[in-house]
Each structure stands twice: as structure tokens, then as C-alpha cells.
Structure 1
Amino acid sequence: MYAYITRRLLMLIPVLFGVSIFIFVMMRVVPGDVAMTILGTDATPESLAQLRKEFGLNLPLHQQYLNWMGGVLSGDFGESMRSGQAVLPDILSRFTITFELTLLSALISWIIAIPMGIIAAIRHNTKTDFSVRMVSLLGVSVPNFAMATVLILVLALFFSYSPPVGYIGFFEDPLRNLQILILPSLVLGTGMAGAVMRMTRSSVLEILRQDFIRTIRAKGARERVIIFDHALRNAMIPILTIIGMQVGTLLGGAVIIEQIFSLPGLGQLVLTAITQRDFTVVQGSVLFIAFVFVMINLLVDVLYSYLDPRINYK
């Protein structure tokens, strides 16, 4: 197991290297001049040249890349071209908000999806199963931004309630923090629940049709033991796979939801940096997101062996 984890960690190097090259090149091929964007109408040839020199934009591309990666390897993601602040502390502070939003959304999703998926599998081809499938289809089909917009309109028109604006840390005011995050978490969690519900239903249903389940039933085991100790445990691998992908995606930044609910998370940071052509912020954020996504995939792979002892990483 330890050898496998070590190999996977070593695989981070070429993956992150490829991501760094890709985002570096993409930011340079986007039309427009970042120095001109920053200076605006006050731009003069002298001020443009000075600003490009300050940011290192006058250097050859390979030299710019090497300078940036040299800083990254030493823990310095550079400074924002707009604010002049260090990029890494800003990423970490914004990531805390996105992480909390993702965690709460995932919990809501699991609480809704896994029990309903199990019930649908147990009551296969009944009205309950049909209802669960319809709900899951709606969760998968309706875009998050549409659901968020409708939710805000319904609360405003019928309950005269508007979502709180801004963000307060959990340890500063837990109740206020929950009040701020509950609505965006419900929107994201409902969307996640649709896919998890469908996967739970199909996986549990497939396991319940296996011969070893019939043998366990023939031995007189209780239905609760069959469902939770045998069927669900064996069905968890595909469920865990889709959960890992969804969590990784949300950690990458629920951009639209953060914009709608005015949450200063990582997604909003990246979107703002792209519109302002803030190279260092975009490059550092995307590289950080890639690192988090790969680590989540590694965690999911490790959990596989815990759920199924037959899986042995050597």
C-alpha cells in the first residue's frame, strides 16, 4: 500500500508539470495585453514598457515559465498583478470557503441520495422506485444556476427572504456561517444527489441479484444485514468513484453558485482573475486545483482497498 501511494505521489510530478505548461501557454495566447488592461487610458509607451519589465513580461516565454515554476517549487506562487498581494495566501483563504461549501454540499447529497437509492433498489419497479428515478433525473437535468435562481426568487416573493451577502467564518459565528452556506449547499447538494442516487440504485440492485446474496438469504440472515453489511458495502466502489469526481469538481470552484450567492470562494477568485487577465493568480489557482483533484483521486483509490479487501495495491 505504501509503495502504491508513493508511486501515485510521484505521478503528481508529470501531471502538475503538464497542467502548468498548459495554463501558462493558454494565458499567453489569449488576445489582449495585460499591461494595457491594467493601465487603461493612462497607458503610455514608457509606462507599458516599465510595467512589462516589472512583471517580467518582456522576457522570453521559456524564461517567464522557468521563473514562475522556480518560485512555485520554493512555495512562492508570485504576486497578483492587480493587488500586489501574495497569491498563495489568497488561494488558501479562498479555498477554505470553497472547501466548507463543498463539504456541506457533499453531506447533504449523501444524506439524500444514498438512502433513497437503496430504497429504490429494494423496491425495484414499484411506484417508489419510479418516484426516486424521477427525482434523480431532475437533479441531474436541472442546471445548478437555474435551481439557485428559482430558489432565490421563490424565497423572495413568497417568504420575503433574501440570502445573506458576504462570508463569516465558522469559528467566528457558527450560526451565521450556516445561514450563509445552507442555500448554496442545498443547490449543489441536490445536483450532486441526482447522480449519486442513480449510481446507488443501480449498484445496489446489481449486487442484490448476485448468487452470494441468495445464499445469505437462504441461511436466514435478516434483510437489514443483507442490505447494509453485504449489498451496500460491495456496491460502494462505483458510488465512491462518482462521489470523488463530484467533490473534486466542486473543490475546483463552484464558480456560478459562488457568483450568485456572493461567496468569495476559489471559483470567484479564478473568474475575476481571468476577466482581469491576472496571470499569476490564474496560473497559481489552476495548479493548486489540479493538485487537490489528484489528491482526492488518490484518497478514493486508497478507500477502495478498505471497502474491498480483494483489492490489493502492490
Structure 2
Amino acid sequence: MYAYIIRRLLMIIPVLFGVSIVIFFTLRVIPGDVAQTILGTSATDESLAALRDKFGLNMPLYEQYFTWMSGVLVGDFGVSMRTGAEILPEILSRFAITFELTILAAFISWIIAIPLGIIAGVKRNTKTDFSVRVISLLGVSVPNFALATILILVLSLSFNYSPPVGYVGFFEDPLTNLQILFLPAFVLGTGMAGAVMRMTRSSILEILRQDFIRTIRAKGVRERVVIFNHAFKNALIPILTIIGMQIGVLLGGTVIIEQIFSLPGLGQMVLTGINQRDFTVVQGAILFIAFVFVMINLLVDLLYSYLDPRISYK
């Protein structure tokens, strides 16, 4: 197990190296002068030259890349071209908000999707199954930004309710924090729930066809025990796979939702950096998201062996 973990951790290095190359050089091929964009139309030749010299924009691209990566390797993600503030502390503070939103959305998704998916699998080809499949299809089909806009309009026009603006930390005021995050988490969670619901249903159906389930039923074991203690436990691996992927995607894909609900998370930070051509912010944030995504995949793989003793990592 430990040898496998070490191998997987070593595999992170080439993955992050590839991500860093792609994001760094992709940003540099965007048309336009970064210094001119940052300083605006009132910039002088002297100020433009000073900014290019400060951030090394006048160096060859390969030198800019190696300068940036040498700092990243020692935990220095550089400073913002706009504000001059250090990027890593800002990433960590923004990530805490995005992470809380993601976990809350995942929890909402699970409590909706897993019970309904189990019911649909057990009651195959019934009206209940058909209804769950329609709900899951809607969850997958409706874009998050459209659902968020519709919810805000309905709540404000029909119930005279407006979502709280801004952000309050959980430890500062837990109730206000949950009030702020519940609606965006619900929007994200419903999108996750559609895919998890479909995977849960198909996994349960596959397991219920297995011989060992028929053997357990033949022994007179209660149906509830058969479903939850045997079928669901063996169906968890594909469900866990899609949940792990969705959590990783959400950590970097909450840009629009954070923008709609005015949440100062990591997604909004990336979007602002792109709009302002703040390359150091964008490349640092995306590299950090890639690292978290890879670590989540590692955690999911390790959970496989816990759920199924037949899986062994050597």
C-alpha cells in the first residue's frame, strides 16, 4: 500500500509539470500587450518598460517559465501583477470558500441522489423508476447558471426573498454562512445529483443480477438487508468514482455560480485574473486546482481497497 501511494505521489510530478506548461504558454499566446492592458491607455513608455522589467515580461518565454517554476517549487507562486499581493495566501483563503461550497453541494447531491437511485434500481421499470429517471435527466440537462438565475427570480418575485450578498466565515457566524452558501450549493448539488442518481441506479441493477444476491435471498435474508448490506456496498465503487470526479471538477468549475452569487471563491479569482490579464494569478490558481484534483483521485483510489478487500495495491 505504501509503495503504491509513493508511486502515485511521484506520478503527480509529471502531471503538474504538463499542466504548468500548458497553462503558462496558453496564456502567453493570447493576443495583446499585458503591460498595456494592466496600466491602461494613460501608460507611458517608461511605466510600460518598468512593469515589463518588474515581472520579467521582456525575457524569453522559456526563461519566464523556469523563473516561475523555480519559485513554485519552493512554495512561492509570485505576486499579482495588478495588486502586488502574494498569490499563494490569496489562493488558500479563496480555496477555503470554494471547498466549503463544494462539500456542501456534494452532501446535498448525495442525500438526494443515492436514496432515489437505490429506489429506482430496486423498483425497475415501474412508475417510480420512470420518475427518478426523468428527475436525473433534468438534473444533468439543466445548466447550473440557468437554474441559479431561475431560482433567484422565483424567490425574489414570488417570495420576496433575495440571497444574502457577500461571505461570512463558518466560524464567525455558522447560521449566516449556511444561509449564504445553501442556494449556490443546492444549484451545484442538483447538477451532481443527476449523474450520481443514474450511476447508483445502474450499479444497483447490475449487482442485483449477480448470483450471490440470489443466494442471499434464497437463505431468507430480509430484503432491506440484501439491498443495503450487500447490494449497495458492492455498488459503491462506480458511485464513488463519479463522486470523486465531480468533486474535483466542482473545485475548479464553480466560476459562474460564484459570480452569480457574489462569492469570493477560487473560481471568481480565476475569472477576475483572466479578465484583468493577471497571468500570475491565473496560472498559480489553475496549478493549485490541478494539484487538488490529482490528490482527490488518489484518495478515491485508496478508498476502493477499503470498500472491496479483493482490490489490493502492491
Please give the range of the TM-score, normalised by the shorter of the 2 chains.
over 0.9
Aligned position for 1:122: 122
- Residue deviations 1:96-154 (CA, integer Å, cap 9, x gap): 00000000000000000000000011111111000000000000000000100000000
Aligned position for 1:225: 225
> What are structure 1's unaligned runs of at least 5 residues?
none
Query: In 2, Cα distance between the equivalents of 1:41 and 1:16?
Result: 37
Aligned position for 2:143: 143
1:252 positional shift: 1.4
Query: In 2, Cα distance between the equivalents of 1:31 and 1:306?
Result: 50
> What are structure 2's unaligned runs of at least 5 residues?
none
1:253 touches 1:266 (CA, 8 Å); kept in 2?
no
Query: In 1, Cα distance between the equivalents of 2:68 and 2:223?
Result: 59
Q: 1:40-79 alignment to 2 at 5 Å?
A: 40-79=40-79
For the residue of structure 2 that corresponds to 1:41, the secondary structure is coil
1:98 touches 1:253 (CA, 8 Å); kept in 2?
no
Aligned position for 1:197: 197
Query: In 1, Cα distance between the equivalents of 2:203 and 2:38?
Result: 53
- Residue deviations 1:167-211 (CA, integer Å, cap 9, x gap): 000000000000000000110001100000000001001100111
Aligned position for 2:273: 273
Q: TM-score, normalised by structure 2?
A: 0.99
1:253 touches 1:268 (CA, 8 Å); kept in 2?
no
Aligned position for 1:4: 4
Aligned position for 1:31: 31
Q: TM-score, normalised by structure 1?
A: 0.99
Aligned position for 1:107: 107
Aligned amino acid, residue 230 of structure 1 = H
Instruction: Say how many residue pairs are matched.
Output: 314
- Residue deviations 1:272-309 (CA, integer Å, cap 9, x gap): 00111101101100100000000000000000111111
1:45 positional shift: 1.8
Query: In 1, Cα distance between the equivalents of 2:224 and 2:81?
Result: 59
Aligned position for 2:177: 177
Aligned amino acid, residue 110 of structure 1 = W
Q: 1:84-99 alignment to 2 at 5 Å?
A: 84-99=84-99
Aligned residues with identical type, % of pairs: 80
Aligned amino acid, residue 44 of structure 1 = T
Q: 1:151-300 alignment to 2 at 5 Å?
A: 151-300=151-300
1:250 positional shift: 0.7
Aligned amino acid, residue 91 of structure 1 = I
Aligned amino acid, residue 262 of structure 1 = S
Query: In 2, Cα distance between the equivalents of 1:252 and 1:30?
Result: 21
Query: In 2, Cα distance between the equivalents of 1:95 and 1:267?
Result: 9
Query: In 2, Cα distance between the equivalents of 1:38 and 1:287?
Result: 23
For the residue of structure 2 that corresponds to 1:42, the secondary structure is coil
Query: In 1, Cα distance between the equivalents of 2:196 and 2:185?
Result: 16
For the residue of structure 2 that corresponds to 1:264, the secondary structure is coil
Aligned-CA RMSD value: 0.6
Query: In 2, Cα distance between the equivalents of 1:194 and 1:256?
Result: 19
Query: In 2, Cα distance between the equivalents of 1:51 and 1:216?
Result: 72
Query: In 2, Cα distance between the equivalents of 1:4 and 1:222?
Result: 39
Query: In 2, Cα distance between the equivalents of 1:33 and 1:87?
Result: 22
Query: In 1, Cα distance between the equivalents of 2:16 and 2:172?
Result: 35
Query: In 2, Cα distance between the equivalents of 1:269 and 1:276?
Result: 11
Aligned amino acid, residue 52 of structure 1 = R
For the residue of structure 1 that corresponds to 2:62, the secondary structure is helix
For the residue of structure 1 that corresponds to 2:94, the secondary structure is helix
Query: In 2, Cα distance between the equivalents of 1:272 and 1:294?
Result: 24
Query: In 1, Cα distance between the equivalents of 2:4 and 2:252?
Result: 25
Query: In 2, Cα distance between the equivalents of 1:46 and 1:182?
Result: 49
1:253 positional shift: 3.6
Aligned amino acid, residue 129 of structure 1 = D
Aligned amino acid, residue 173 of structure 1 = D
1:167 touches 1:180 (CA, 8 Å); kept in 2?
yes
For the residue of structure 2 that corresponds to 1:170, the secondary structure is coil
1:68 touches 1:78 (CA, 8 Å); kept in 2?
yes
